[in-house]
Structure 1
Amino acid sequence: MTPDESVAHLTPTSWDLASRALLAKALAEFAHERLLRPRPTGDGSTYLVRGDDPSVEYRFTASVLALDHWVVDAASVVRHQGGAETPLDALGFFLDFRSALDLDGEPLPTYLEEISATLAAAAFRLATPAPGAAELSRAAFQTIEANLPEGHPAFVANSGRIGFGVDGQHRYTPE
């Protein structure tokens, strides 16, 4: 695999889709775990949560299911700062909530590296045709694992591996 081929999946489109999906998962999981406390906006199923800097807020639509499980509509997630809509950035989300998520200090760089690897793995899956059921039924364990769409359902930094080169990342992620 050439260097260009090894990163061809890292397009703005695949990165944005991966980021949006990860943000929806993070908002849902951190609300469920009560690390973040989204407030209803009075607009039906729309919620907002403020960052460590109160001028930063994320708004989204969600359903809250039994046992306080959240399902966040990824397409609905928007970020505002000082009242103006700003671009979504999954890595920036963790900076926006680093105190609320207890990421201040030493854990932050490693967690951001894990999130970056998770985003890269998701972008790869989005850009790569998935094998069909017949092919997966005969595939080796690692091939099956590498084609799981989500990684662990409750861990946000769940499907990238830090320290892997590009070949290892493509071969062994998500788990």
Structure 2
Amino acid sequence: MASSTVSLALLLVFFTFSFSEAKEFLVSSWEVSSSEPDRLNKWAESSRFQVGDYLVWKYDGKKDSVLQVSRGDYLNCNTKSPIEEHKDGNTTVRLDRSGPFYFISGADGHCQKGQRLIVVVMSHGARSGFMGITPAPSPMEIDGPAVAPTSGALGLKRDGYCLVVLASLLGLLLV
């Protein structure tokens, strides 16, 4: 009986962490690129960001900064009223909700030359491929209010799967 309880506890820990593993994404070369001005957004489109993940920037804090801004300020490269401003050269931002996040350079003229980034964050559990999710939309396709790129069925599949596993484990304990 004690070994069954230990097994159940280990399985519960495994399932808890397997669905909530945060990742760090390095935003490489936070600088103006004349050859490919939209390279940062192309990188973001090919990545899967989930609530709880982190974006990490390494840059010269004396020459540049990272500004988190609204959609309108992103589109207009407005650096006057950022949501958050980072100037330390080693910036980490936690993606704490689903939907789009907008970032621009604080250096004069850099945003206009393409040094900006849109990250679309999926809700918890949307990263696992076995759950039948569809790819997130391109950040450039987002018009209007922010909407998380997930379906309600995804949560049902994951939650249903967890309930079946937990019920099976409970059944083993009672036998």
Report the TM-score when normalising by structure 1.
0.31
Judging by fraction of residues, say which structure has more strand: 2
Judging by fraction of residues, say which structure has more helix: 1
Report the TM-score when normalising by structure 2.
0.31
